[in-house]
């Protein structure tokens, strides 16, 4: 089949390579223009390296984008990680329309941070959807879905790179074949089951140690590797903002096991430090001070002269 790919970054690059590997013809690639100082887009670089036609338009709305897509004369448009709005006048141009990837089980978790939120909420399952893009955000009819488990210790990186990334590439190939062959179905999303969540950014990723240890741990997992769940650590006069990455959860079972207040460092070992939350402790193995690099939590504690109450000098 002859397709146009609309996308960006590593996922878009992987989709491009997958279609080419099985012999499909990529007539052109639409990529969002990079901002000044931004690293080269992986999809753009790959497409240019293969000698493919690359279109970096500031918007997919309007006659310029429509004329560019129409000139490609493709069977199908394939949207692989697209942050630009693509109107119906654009996506309906290919002979068989356009399909789009979204990393959640729509209609749940519509929105731009759909992988973070289910982990942060403690869900044990997520998945991906291939659907028809409409003018509503992630609201179009569903063509196919794939599910995957979220393990109790899985991070955002685990769920995406081990599951949603490779599953998504394969699902786009499968959906493209179904659509072009006329063997697909389109299921309208159930609005009664729908949810929308916005970006998972700095404010959403701030740790509240007064929350239950399960909530704190889920938040840390949902932000690893990005944007990084954060808090402030240190003495009263020299607190520093740190993002926490590799961590373990330690529930407490009895009243006697609880010591210290939420947010206090209660133990420091050769490899880690332990911070109190409601119902348990978070063992921090790796963290990143603001403006610095990732480092071992115990090394950070030593550099900052941090002590736990039971370990404080007499």
The CATH number of whichever domain residue 38 belongs to comes to 3.40.50.170
pLDDT at 310: 56
At 147 the pLDDT is 98
Question: Cα separation of 102 and 100, whole Å?
Answer: 7
Q: Is 22 helix (H, G, I), strand (E, B) or coil?
A: coil
Peptide bond before residue 225 is cis, with ω within 30 degrees of 0: yes
Q: Does 32 share its domain with 96? A: yes
Based on the domain organization, do 10 and 53 belong to the same domain? yes
One domain, residues 232 and 123: no
Q: Check whether residue 165 and residue 223 sit in a common domain.
A: no
Range of the domain at 230: 213-311
| Residue tagged 């921090």 (tokens) | 284
Whether residue 251 is contained in a domain is answered as: yes
Q: Where are the beta strands (DSSP E) in 134-239?
A: 142-149, 229-233
Task: Tell me what pLDDT residue 299 has.
Answer: 96
In a domain, 202, yes or no: no
Last residue of a domain, one of 126, 159, 193: 193
Do 100 and 158 fall within a single domain? Answer: yes
The count of structural domains within the chain is 2
Length, in residues, of the chain: 314
Question: How do the pLDDT tens digits run along the chain, 314 residues long?
Answer: 999 999 999 999 999 999 999 999 999 999 999 999 999 999 999 999 999 999 999 999 999 999 999 999 999 999 999 989 999 999 999 999 999 999 999 999 999 999 999 999 999 999 999 999 999 999 999 999 999 999 999 999 999 999 999 999 999 999 999 999 999 999 999 999 999 999 999 999 999 999 999 999 999 999 999 999 999 998 777 889 999 999 999 999 887 777 789 999 999 999 999 999 999 999 999 999 999 999 999 999 999 988 887 544 33
Kindly state whether residues 184 and 280 are assigned to the same domain: no
User: What is the pLDDT at residue 312?
Assistant: 42
Using alpha carbons, list the distances in angstroms from residue 173 to 101, 179, 272: 11, 10, 44
The answer to whether residue 198 is domain-embedded is no
Q: For residue 170, is it within any domain?
A: yes
pLDDT at 257: 72
Q: Is residue 204 part of a domain?
A: no
143/49 same-domain check = yes
Q: Are residues 259 and 159 in the same domain?
A: no
Same domain, 265 and 140: no
Q: Is the same domain home to 272 and 168?
A: no
Whether 162 and 237 map to the same domain: the answer is no
**Residue 260's pLDDT is what?**
80
Per-residue model confidence (pLDDT) at position 314: 32
Q: Are 118 and 34 members of one domain?
A: yes
């Amino acid at each position: 089949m002859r397709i146009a790919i609309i996308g960006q970054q590593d996922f878009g690059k992987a989709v491009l390579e997958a279609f080419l590997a099985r012999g499909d013809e990529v007539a052109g690639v639409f990529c969002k223009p990079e901002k000044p100082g931004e690293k080269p887009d992986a999809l753009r670089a790959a497409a240019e390296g293969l000698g493919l036609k690359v279109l970096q338009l500031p918007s997919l709305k309007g006659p310029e984008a429509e004329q560019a897509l129409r000139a490609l004369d493709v069977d199908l448009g394939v949207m692989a990680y697209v942050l630009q709005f693509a109107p119906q006048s654009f996506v309906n141009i290919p002979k068989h329309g356009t399909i789009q990837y979204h990393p959640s089980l729509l209609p749940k978790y519509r929105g731009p941070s759909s992988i973070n939120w289910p982990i942060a909420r403690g869900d044990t399952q997520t998945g991906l959807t291939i659907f028809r893009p409409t003018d509503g955000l992630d609201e179009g009819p569903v063509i196919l879905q794939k599910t995957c488990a979220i393990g109790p210790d899985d991070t955002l990186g685990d769920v995406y790179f081990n599951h949603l990334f490779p599953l998504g590439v394969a699902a786009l190939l499968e959906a493209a074949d179904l659509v072009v062959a006329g063997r697909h179905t389109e299921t309208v999303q159930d609005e009664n089951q729908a949810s929308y969540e916005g970006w998972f950014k700095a404010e959403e990723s701030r740790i509240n140690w007064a929350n239950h240890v399960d909530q704190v741990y889920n938040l840390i997992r949902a932000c690893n590797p990005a944007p990084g769940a954060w808090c402030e650590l240190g003495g009263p006069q020299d607190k520093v903002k740190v993002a926490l990455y590799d961590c373990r959860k330690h529930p407490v079972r009895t009243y006697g096991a609880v010591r210290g207040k939420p947010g206090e460092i209660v133990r420091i070992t050769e490899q880690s430090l332990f911070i109190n939350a409601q119902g348990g402790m978070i063992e921090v193995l790796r963290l990143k001070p603001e403006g610095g690099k990732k480092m071992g939590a115990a090394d950070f504690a030593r550099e900052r002269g941090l002590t736990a109450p039971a370990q404080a000098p007499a």
